[in-house]
Every structure is written in C-alpha cells, then in structure tokens.
Structure 1
Amino acid sequence: MEATALDLGLRGAVAGLFLMIMVVTLGRVRPLDTIKWLGVAMAASGALYAIVTAPFVPKATVWWIMPVLGANPVLVWLWARASFDDDFVVRRWHGVLWLAVVSVWFSVIYTWTTWPMFAKAGVRSMSILAIILSLSAAVQTVRTWKTDLVAGRRRLRLAVLILSLLIVVLLSVPELNSISAKSFGMSGSLATAVGLLAIAALAGWGLFHPPPAIPAVAAMAATTASENADRAAPIKAADGGRDATASLLLRRLDNLMTVERVYRQEGLTIGGLAAKLDLPEYRLRQAINEGLGYRNFNAFLNRYRIDEAKAALSDPGQRDVAVLTIAMDAGFQSIGPFNRAFKAESGLTPTEFRRDALARSAAIALENDEKFRNRPIPLKIG
C-alpha cells in the first residue's frame, strides 16, 4: 500500500506539472510555433498517460485512451526534429503516420481476445517502430549538436530528449523481450511514475527557468575591454542599430569571413574557426548566436557561401561553369546540400536563379546598347 500511495502521489505531481506547462504555454508564450504546439501535445499526452496507467483506474478508460497515447513516440520524434533542425517543417505525411499508429493500436485492442496472435504481432511492430523513431531522434540530436549555437537548447533540451527517449525505449523493449521492472526490485507502475516525473520536472524547469540571455555584443565588448581597453571599435550592430559598440572579436570574425573567406575551407567547424580566432569555442558560439542572430553554425557559413554562389551564377563570364563547380568553390562538399540551402534562401534552384540573373543581365545590356545607339550626336561647328 505504501508503494501504491507513492505511485499515486508521483503521478499526481506529474499530471499537475504537465497541465501547468500546457496552461503557461498556451496562455503566455508567443508566438506558438511548431515546437511549442508539439510540446503542448506531449504535455497533454504525458498527463493522460500518468493518469490512465495509474493503479485502480478502470480498464475501460485505458482501452479508449491508450491507442492515442501509443502514438507518443511519433510526437517525441517530431518534437526532436523540430527542436534540433531549424529547417524542419511538419508535413502531411507526419500526420498520416500518427493516425496510422493510432489505428494499429485500436486494431490491437479490439482483436486482443479474438485474434491474439495478430494483436501480439501489432504490439511487437509498434514497439519496434517506437525504438526506430527514438533512435532516429537521438541521431538527429547527435548529428546537429556541434553546430547548434543556442546555449539553452544545447544544455537543457538535450537532457529532456535523452530522458524522453530512454523512457520510450524502456516502455518498448519490455514488449519485445518480456522484461519486467520487477526484475529491478520495483513495480512497473512505480518505475513509470518516476520516469514521467523526471521528464515533467525537466520540461517545467526549461519553461519556467530559461537560462539568462546576455547580448553577445555587450558581453564581448565588456570582456575585450577588460583585456585591452583600446580594442573596441564602433561598427553596425546585428539588430540594425547604428553607432553601437561591438568587440574586436566580431570585427575579426567579419574579416575572416569576408576578406579571407575561410568559409571556403572544406569541413570547417566552429572549433576550427574558434582556433583561428584564438578564443574559447563557447565565446564564439555566443557571439554568432546572440550578436549576429544565427541559431545554427551551418546557416552562418551558408550565408557567405550562397552569396558567393549567387555572384558567380549572375556573372555572364561564368555562364559555362558547372553549378557543382561553383558550389564546391564556395565551400559546399556536394550538390545536394547546396541545392537545398540555396532554394531555402532564395526560393529558386541554382539553375533557375542563373537563368533569371543572366536574362536580366542580357536585358540590361540590350537596354544600355539601345540608349548608346540612340543618343544624340553633338554637332561640330567650325
């Protein structure tokens, strides 16, 4: 009875935390982007899961709600993609996948007594899918971790994601291997309650106590001033304001990118760029993110690479140069990432951009030629 009381108490705390997250997000957080909507959906499903899987809850309630909760791995996967990939967009097929998982779980529940073999196969397939989605989200986290410039997202969301994926896997693996939480000296219900409370606590911490944001321009200027008082110089601020004081670090960074064109270097990482500037990596992350407004290091590099590619594609003298050659000269390692980044920035493929740019150049040249031929010829008297 003591374990049951503890279990119920933990689940009440979990439901309360998740409901508070939902209320605060919907009532105070603006704008409500994809990440926040997915967070609300996950909070709602977490609260429901904590309630319907508690001891003494009528089984009829579980049968009706569990198919929806069974699709939680899809929500976790979408949330991870949206949180760690700034270019990710929710598509229709993502909704179709969620509905398909819900449908399979309904089929499992309603065929459990009539076709038990079919139902067990359905449970096993959904467990495998949950593990695949969890591993995919984990790979996404690791793959984009080093290029992430948002300090709070690197520190907190990674922890929340890892713990969420751990719970998903722990709930899925037992279905595949018949592992019981009792093997570890605790009931499965209590173990689930503890895991859910840890997730809810981390999610609440991330929402109510975000890390303080210190403008990088001011922070770098203050640090530089303490090291060398005469190193700071006035340049244009990242937010468009003029006559703002920025650090020598930002000026040196701008010189590296625009004059030395280090973005052309193959495999350039933020660690390598920090080494060129002879400063800690975290300071460079802060400067690029908070001072220049970039959330991802690759997006920062691609700005310069795409600008160079646009200039080359617009040059009539390079009309016969292959697009792949231009892309690799600008620093891209293959044509696929170049095409995606170029279209995301300009709305056109490189080939379409070149066609339009060369057509405009030809039209301007023709217009100038017409003006030259039609200009009045001055008369010579004498």
Structure 2
Amino acid sequence: MSDTTQRPFSILFVDDEEMSRNHFARAIRADYCVHVAQSADEAIAVLSQYGAEIAVLVTDYRMPGRDGDDLLRQVAQEYPQIVRILVTAYADKDMLLKTVNTGDVFRILEKPLRTEKVREVLQLAIARYAERETRQQRLLAMDETLAFLAHELNTPLATISLFARSVESDVAEQYDPERQREIGDAARSMLNNAQFCLTLISSFWETVHKSGGRQSALEASGREVRATQLIATLLDTYPFAGSQRDWIRIDAQGDFVVRAMPNCVALVLSSLLSNALRALGDTSAPSLCLEIVESPEPEIRIRDNGPGIAPEIKARLLLDPVTTYAGAGGHGMGMIFCNRIMQSFGGCLRVDSALGEGTTVTMGFPASKSRMNPSDG
C-alpha cells in the first residue's frame, strides 16, 4: 500500500480509484516518498504509522464511506502540522467553502490532475510545512528555555519570600521603631519582588507551554497589542524600589503592533528594565529612557546613563554567560534568554555601550508586511 523508500518528505494521497493512486504515485515518487490509501479510514491507519514523516495530505473529496471533508477535519485536529490539499471534480461551491473553513485546506486541485500543477502545488505545500516545522522548533526551544528558567529560579525565589515574611514578623521586639520600619520596608520589598518574579515566570512559561506551537490566546483573539501598551502595562506592574519609577521617562517617536508573542516580548522588556535599574543603582543622577521607534524599522530601546559595559564583556553578552553582577548573584544568562526569545520570531537584540557613557539595548522587531511590501494594496 505504501512506497517505503525514505526521503526527506512524504506525501499521503487518498483516492478510492486505483488508477488515480497509481498515476499520482508514478508522477511524484521521484521527488517524494509516497504513501497511498483508498479510504479515509485507511488514511488514518497510514498516519498512525507514518504521521511523523508525512508532510502533505492530498485527498479526493468524493469517496465511499467517509468523504474527504471528514478526513480533512480529523487530520486538522490530530495532525495539525500536516499541510492539507483537496482534490475534487465537482464545482459545488457550498461544499468547497465548508471544506476550506472546517478542514483548513491549503489548496484545491481539480480533476483531472495535471502533473506539472501537482508538482507546483506540492512544492508550495512543502515550503509551508518547513515553515511550520521551523516555527515549532523555535517555540520548543523557547519552551525549554523558559522551563529551565522557571525551574532554576522557583526554589530560591520561594525561599526569599519565606525569609522576607519571617523578617517582617520578627523585627518588632528587637529594634527601635525607626529601625523596625526600615527593616519592615526592606522585607516587604524583598517579598514583593520575589512574588512578582514567581508570578511572571509562571505566567510566561505557562503561556508558551500551553501554546504547543499554536497561536497564543492574544494572537488568536485578533486583538492588537501595541508597543506603547506593553510598556505602560510593564510600568504599572513592575515592583519598583524607592524612587526608581521617577528615573524613567518614555519617548514615543511612533508606535507599532507587536505581532509575535507579545507575552514573551513583555518578559524580555521586564528583564531588560531590571538590568538597567540595577546598573543605575550607584549613579548620582540616574536616568532611564524607554524609546519607541516605528521607522525605518520598529524598535524599542532601553537607554540608561549608567556606568556602561566593558568592551570585552559587551562582545560576549548575547553569546556567553557573562555578567557584571556576579557578586550580587548574577549569572549572565538573562541576556542570552532575551536574545533567544527575540530571535525566535525573527527579531533581534543589540547592545551599544561604552564605559562611563551608559548603555542602550535595542529590541528590533520584524517589519510589518505592509512595510516590507509597500506596493501591496
């Protein structure tokens, strides 16, 4: 029933007519491994055995028993990575619309099949499959990164929370009122920061983990999330210490829609803000500017007037676990995580800094479709 020759991509062709199956297999087996089935149920049996290697499903619509529409819907549910193509000899508009809507059909081919047209469509379908696989691998890499981050930080942050509660409750009998207030404020700050980090890590890891390569809830809802909104939300929720919030100003030279994984972009923003605030800790007149730039390319820049970064550290910052805060518990992994997240959706992270002149970290985002193709209507 199946051509067992192993090639990079496999095609499953489903048609109840033996002549059609043989013709299809002969036409494309020089380029792809071909599996064939004569019914929807037989196709599911083939998928249960070879589903991991099949990139494209091509199915006839009219078949005895379950038709192609039913098969497409099941495959869309159980094997969403497979690109689905419908073959039909019937010009039933309502049927075609229903199938496209419920089965997420990539293309529709009309009978009789022409070899050149089939090859052309299969090339496009394989390109779509490869694109999905790349995105899935990026999401899996990000999932692993965030899961690692959550695992590594969850226990020490929970310990800090317990310690802060203990300090806050034990100071009353040991210090004068002023000292009690200072220690109590410090303990509450520790607790708030630890709880904020725990919540942030849990939320973002869960978002990526549950997506499983599918669209996030924000993307699926169709609700646009703009750069200015992400920054405003971050500043509203970030656990600033002392007068830190007063150090920050926003310079919106434009605005743009964050189209890819806004939750993860918010995580990067939070991490970069934390780094900048820490760098400004010993600066006499700390200043931190969050710039939003729309043109020529969409960017968010985090610009501080802190001590800057030594050239030998800056050169390795996005590649190796280096840090200027080892004495304060820094391990240098944060920038690597941020860079990996930005790269996962085609963005980038850039660091410009010199000792004594501050640091600017730029989050670069992929240009919108309209900007990349200005002639498109």
TM over 0.5: no
Query: Higher RCO, 1 or 2 (CA under 8 Å, sep at least 6)?
Result: 1
TM-score (norm 1): 0.27
Query: As a proportion of its length, which structure holds more strand?
Result: 2
